[in-house]
Amino acid sequence: MTDTVKIAFAPFSAPDAGALVVFCAGGLKMGAKTAAHVAGAASFLREAAETLSFKGKWSSAMDLVRPAGLTAERLLVVGVEPKDGEVDFVHLGGYVAGRLPKAKVVHVLFEGAEGEWSASAAADFALGFRLRGYKFDKYKTKKSDGEENGKTVHDVTMLVADPDAARGAHAHRESVAEGVEIARTLVNEPPNVLYPEAFADHAKALEKLGVDVEVLDEKAMAKLGMGALLAVGQGSTRASRFVSMRWKGAKSKKSAPVAIIGKGVCFDSGGVSIKPAAGMEDMKGDMAGAACVVGLMHALARRKAKANVVGVIGLVENMLGPEAYRPGDILTSMSGQTIEVVNTDAEGRLVLADALWWTKETVKPKLMINLATLTGAILVALGVENAGLFSNDDELAARLSQAGKATGETVWRMPMGPAYDKLIDSKFADMKNSGGRHAGSITAAHFLKRFVGDIPWAHLDIAGTAMASPATETNTSWGSGWGVRLLDRFVADHYEER
């Protein structure tokens, strides 16, 4: 169960209950207000720093119980050297939360060595603190620490220069935090619980935030000619679904929206081209692209973003069975282009082919971005540090790279070109669904590109970043919710009216 983090903002004061968090640079250098507040404990702090070899370095802290000369029960002195200006406050909030896992009452004297930190810094810190508290243990009947309920309520009061400004900035971040948590949970849920129809119900829930949600069943998809998407799902007893989510927050409801499209393979067994047993359970996360889209739409609607954004997800389960599609099958996609199946495990691109085409034709967006756990090859190329970015538009690619840097959800642009595109030409059909081992992520991107026409488009291959994530200061969950923060930022920076 996720810890509840309640954040309040108050003017600087002298708190006397619970844990107190203060910040310092090298040589225990503190801001004026902090220094004045801990003045009574100055010699105690110097001695403690000496004993603990605490230098005030970034990502280090001294955790002191009942420090002599102070009323606080506990004092956490957190190092932020080097310079204040380079502090990543989301990371810092996560770090502090990680150092205070059971603290119920926390006061944070939010000031750097060089002086007061900004309202947006305070909101970022609160976001990091909250994201660190996310846990997915709803299927454990016994909590790890032996307690009946592993959930802790953290009452965090941030003492800041301008509480009203901090509250304003925080409202935005709270919406984003909810979106990230939704995406994480969808990725973490097991595939027997979260099959396509169940997933569609989560999308449907966005209606209460004012999102127009439309769910298409298989009959409706067949009528539209979505032969590629439907083929992937036909081996499963779980029916496929196709969902669009429209948020109209711009002044003109008619202005062309930004479209975000997600791969939603609720479980990817590989199909007839079955995957090896080891690690196959991870393929419950093969809907992380779709999870990100739902989390993002939640964040945007919740904070009433002044932009028109459409989310589109294709939901299927890739299974084996007498009805399953086969290598050798030739499919006709909604675009009319034909596809020779050479590997039923290259299924995500088939789902996206119809989703992209539908979006281009029906939504007529100003740009399209798709997210997909598309290839194992992107893990070989980039590991878990960057998502692969593929685009037909330099400006769009630059904007995504910039939003990635700003949020820490970083992307790395990969090359494309006609020589790669040729690798997916087929002897029998317009294209085949795999170009073989070489440049696997790039040929997958070229497959998608054949379904986007002239619209500015970007594809994010998130197979390395969305699941099986290494623990960080802001995420200890298997599903990271990757992309929600990046795309929220992308929309906020470039597509929102002010």
- Residue 259 or 287: the one with the smaller Cβ distance to Zn ion is 287
Residue 17: other Cβ atoms inside 10 A: 14
How far is residue 57's CA from residue 226's CA, in Å, rounded to a whole number? Answer: 56
Residues that bind Zn ion (rule: CB under 5 A) add up to a total of 4
343 binds ligand BES (CB under 6 A): yes
Tell me which residue of 179, 494, 173 sits closest to 306, measured CA to CA: 494
What minimum distance in Å lies between the beta carbon of 290 and Mn ion? 15
What minimum distance in Å lies between the beta carbon of 376 and ligand BES? 3
- Residue 294 or 346: the one with the smaller Cβ distance to ligand BES is 346
List residues near Mn ion by CB under 5 A: 268, 345, 347
Which residues in 126-162 are b (16+ Cβ under 10 Å) and which e?
bbbbbbbbbbbeeeeeeeeeeeeebebebbbbbbbbe
Query: Which are the contacts of 51, defined by CB distance < 8 A and separation ≥ 6?
Result: none
Q: Ramachandran region of residue 185, left (φ > 0), alpha (ψ -120 to 50) or beta?
A: alpha
From the list Mn ion, ligand BES, Zn ion, none, which binds 481 (C-beta under 5 to 8 Å, kind-based)? none
Tokens of 289: 């692209």
Residues that bind ligand BES (rule: CB under 6 A) add up to a total of 14
What minimum distance in Å lies between the beta carbon of 351 and ligand BES? 9
- Whether residue 303 lies in the annotated active site: no
- Whether residue 302 lies in the annotated active site: no
What minimum distance in Å lies between the beta carbon of 88 and ligand BES? 27
348 binds Zn ion (CB under 5 A): yes
Binding test (CB under 6 A) with ligand BES, winner from 18, 93, 348, 365: 348
Q: How far is CA 343 from CA 130, 347, 353, in A?
A: 42, 8, 16
Binding test (CB under 6 A) with ligand BES, winner from 188, 333, 359, 375: 375
- Residue 373 or 474: the one with the smaller Cβ distance to ligand BES is 373
Which residues in 442-466 are b (16+ Cβ under 10 Å) and which e?
bbbbbbbbbbbeebbbbbbbbbbbb
Q: Ramachandran region of residue 102, left (φ > 0), alpha (ψ -120 to 50) or beta?
A: alpha
434 binds ligand BES (CB under 6 A): yes
From the list Zn ion, Mn ion, ligand BES, none, which binds 127 (C-beta under 5 to 8 Å, kind-based)? none
The single residue of 349, 449, 450, 489 carrying the catalytic annotation is 349
- Residue 268 or 354: the one with the smaller Cβ distance to Mn ion is 268
What minimum distance in Å lies between the beta carbon of 447 and ligand BES? 10
Binding test (CB under 5 A) with Zn ion, winner from 286, 317, 329, 421: 286
38 binds ligand BES (CB under 6 A): no
Tokens of 102: 């059971």
376 binds ligand BES (CB under 6 A): yes
Binding test (CB under 6 A) with ligand BES, winner from 346, 439, 458, 484: 346
- Residue 210 or 470: the one with the smaller Cβ distance to ligand BES is 470
Binding test (CB under 5 A) with Zn ion, winner from 3, 124, 189, 268: 268
Binding test (CB under 5 A) with Zn ion, winner from 21, 38, 260, 265: 265
388 binds ligand BES (CB under 6 A): no
Tokens of 337: 């282009």
268 binds ligand BES (CB under 6 A): yes
Nearest residue to ligand BES by CB is: 376
Q: Which stretch binds Zn ion (CB under 5 A): 8-16, 91-99, 260-268, 269-277?
A: 260-268
From the list Mn ion, Zn ion, ligand BES, none, which binds 371 (C-beta under 5 to 8 Å, kind-based)? none
* Residues noted as catalytic: 275, 349
Binding site for ligand BES (CB under 6 A): 268, 286, 343, 345-348, 373, 375-377, 434, 440, 463
The binding site for Zn ion (CB under 5 A) comprises 265, 268, 286, 348
